Structure 1
Amino acid sequence: MTAIEAPRSGKVNYNRNKSSGSKFEMFAWLFMRLSGVILIVLIFGHLFVNLMLGEGVHQIDFGFVAGKWASPFWQIWDLLMLWLAMLHGTNGVRTIINDYAEKDGTRMVLKTVLYLATAVIIVLGTLVIFTFDPCVVGSDGVPLPGSFCPAP
């Protein structure tokens, strides 16, 4: 049977480069704690407004989202939730990749895919939040049924 040494016994070699002097990992650790607390507030606020107020889940449709995103407050709220959730999750997956990918090449490829996917989702999500137009017009220039256009 193989015994696992205690982390502070001095017998465990983590094979980490201590000469870089970078504080990145400390900032990443701190970011995870702070973003987690902020995300709890953002997510529970989001769930409360969407599920508890009004008619609950039955009220959520195109009009509900159009009404919420007409307000800069809700645009910023959802933007913060998107950015923090993506960066928080990306940092967590980055840590897992660093812990479990044994080869440097594998680690680099996995983290590159992770960072690209994160960037695409953040950019697309941000564009959706700020370019959302509730007035959907058909090819004939007439608003489609169910769209929310101001009266002419």
Structure 2
Amino acid sequence: MLSKTSLQTTIRNLQEAQLRQSRDAYAAYLAAARRDRTEPADQDQASREFGNAELAEYFEGPTRTYEAALKRLQSIDFGPKSRVEEGAAVQVDDRWYVIGVASQAFECDGVTYMGISTDAPIYKALEGAAAGDAVAFRGRDWKIQAVA
């Protein structure tokens, strides 16, 4: 039996773990990129510092993405659903998806799920469908087996 509470907790825990990892990587990068201020600076050092600042932005981006995903998860109603909408767990062609935020594949109660954002093209095709419906996406028919 599908436990939406367990599913919500698992996807939230996954996003929190990814946020921690992203923050740790960002902090480690910044610590390693700091210049020793006791050493004289030269043009090469200035160039490296500029490059390090640009690279730091790439580490910060995923952190902001995970923070936004966690905030979004807090506002999603994971109650029972009969149609594909935000907060639904959807079985499509023997694969399970959770509608709300994008995520990597994860296990919950022995079942593999993947998070889909409501901005994803596949969600636009699935939106509003019910169990038993078929939807077309990228030239293929997709069978909705279950919606919870």
TM over 0.5: no
Structure ranking higher in strand proportion:
2
TM range (shorter): 0.3 to 0.5
Q: TM-score, normalised by structure 1?
A: 0.37
